Amino acid sequence: MKTLGIKKIFVLFCLLCMGGYGVQAQQWAQVQKALIRKGERLMTNPAKAQKELSRTYAAADAVAPFLHFSAQDVLPWSFRVQSRAASAYEQAAVLTNNRLELAARLSVEHTVRRLRANRQEIKERLQYARTADLVSLIPPSAKFIFLGEMHHQPDIEKQILYILARYKKRHPEKKIMVLTEFVLDTNVSLLPKEMEARVTSKRAFFNLLMKWRIPVFGLEEPVARAQATNEILTEKKGTAFLSSTALAVQTRNRHWIKQIQAMHETYPDMVFFIYAGLGHTEYNLSASVAAAFPKEETFAMDFFVGKRLRFTPFDRAFNGRFSGVGVWYWKDPKYARLSGFDVSVVLPAGAKK
């Protein structure tokens, strides 16, 4: 089966950029029909569909009014047909999502090429230690400290609790606050009586922070969260806010950025620890929250268990070369933003702290 060539990918990309969001579906009619036929044939063989759709994804914008594509398990170039859009609202949302998905994938490829082009210098500047005092690696100038995790890993939660406790003890003169994906945003610090209503996961984790008198504010917008959860559980058609889509991530991240900025304006002397998933905190991913803040005031750590995941541009560029258990950090910050992190922590499976 033939697939779209690289030239056609960039022609389509240029056309959609020039057309903007006002491009009408009929302008893409011929490509739409071909891709719909192809998609229907491919869906009879899911394994083959996964492979072929990854190669033809550049034309997702063309088919957007009919089919909604989304990343599966956040793996690059691995896509599935999520649903058929029925209403005009769903078509518009899907069109926007698929454009964002395409732009994000092209951005990832560009980042991978830049990393590979600087391969030798990166190898020289990236430092490794089997263990390290992570708090000592955080510069005094950091006001926005991002802690990005692989979800559902208790070992990472323990490590992050250890960092918060140690930072608080080592810097008693500094006031700290946790802003997090895992609590719904109500512009009010989390209280024990609100635990059931506002915490989406990690209740024991946040109970400890409240005992330590560390204020916790939620970042997750309640309406978007409720809609995403409802759609995941019911497989409802029209997934404009499904949490795994590019549109949902961008929508959520923009809200988070505004909330963090508002908190900084209200509490200018506070040090903010932003605790969320890696897809939000890596500097070099699309719509990154961490990348929205000043370089000299921002510090990003990412946490993995066992090994780093291949979905990041950094790991794709180096084929997992820097994936071993330990602590990876930069001699200087020149390549921090391009790599996605200031410090990368790979915990051994079964680690306790």
Distance between CA 332 and CA 206 in Å, rounded? Answer: 33
With tokens 């400890």, the residue in question is: 208
162 shares a domain with 55: no
In a domain, 206, yes or no: yes
The per-residue pLDDT for range 242-261, each reduced to its tens digit, is 566 677 788 889 999 999 99
317 and 177, same structural domain? yes
Distance CA 151, CA 295 (A): 26
97 and 152 part of one domain = no
Within-domain flag for 18:
yes
Query: Most confidently modeled of 78-82, 232-236, 251-255?
Result: 251-255
Residue 242 lies in a domain: yes
Per residue, what are the HEC states of 23-38? CCHHHHHHHHHHHHHH
In the block, residue with structure tokens 């649903």: 83
Residues 85 and 109 in one domain: yes
Q: Is residue 1 assigned to a domain?
A: no
Whole-angstrom distance between the N-terminal and C-terminal Cα of the chain? 51
Q: Which residues contact 196 (CB under 8 A, 6 or more apart)?
A: none
Total domain count, the chain: 2
**Residue 353 maps to a domain:** no
> pLDDT tens, 327-339?
999 999 999 999 9
Whether 307 is in a domain gets the answer: yes
Are 160 and 283 within one domain? yes
- Output the domain CATH number for residue 296: 3.40.50
If asked whether residues 47 and 186 sit together in one domain, one would say no
User: Do 75 and 141 sit in the same domain of this protein?
Assistant: no
Q: Which of 62, 86, 117 is the last residue of a domain?
A: 117
Say which residue, 262 or 97, is predicted with more confidence.
262
- Reply yes or no on whether the pLDDT at 164 is more than 70: yes
253 and 329, same domain (yes or no): yes
User: Any idea what DSSP says for residue 41?
Assistant: H
Q: Answer yes or no: are the C-beta atoms of 326 and 306 closer than 8 Å.
A: no
Q: Is residue 331 part of a domain?
A: yes
Distance of CA 353 to the CA centre of its chain: 25
The DSSP H or E segment spanning 344 is strand 343-347
Residue 203 belongs to what domain range? Answer: 126-347
CB count within 10 Å of CB 67 equals 21
121 Cβ contact list (under 8 Å, min separation 6): 335
**DSSP labels, 119-144:** HHHHHHHEEEESS--HHHHS-TT-SE
Same-domain check for residues 169 and 84: no
Q: Model confidence over 165-216: pLDDT tens digits? A: 999 999 999 999 999 999 999 889 998 888 988 998 899 999 999 999 999 9
Residue 64 DSSP label:
T
Report yes or no on 11 lying in a domain. Answer: yes
Per-residue tokens: 110: 């560009």
Q: Tell me, what's the pLDDT at 158?
A: 96
> How many CB atoms are located within 10 Å of the residue 117 CB?
11
Same domain, 142 and 83: no
Which residues, in sequence order, are bridge partners of residue 181? none
Is 130 in the same domain as 262?
yes
> Of 67, 97, 117, which marks where a domain is finished?
117
Asked whether residue 338 falls in the same domain as residue 299, the answer is: yes
Q: Is the pLDDT of residue 91 over 60?
A: no
pLDDT at residue 309, as a whole number: 81
- pLDDT band at 24; cut points 50, 70, 90: very low
| End position of a domain, from candidates 91, 117, 143 | 117
**Residue 70 DSSP class:** E
Residue 58: which residues within 8 A CB-CB, separation 6 or more? 4, 8, 9, 12, 13, 102
Decide if pLDDT at 37 tops 80: no
Percent of the chain with pLDDT over 70: 63
Q: Give the C-alpha distances (Å, rounded to integers) separating 176 from 97, 255, 270.
A: 36, 21, 6
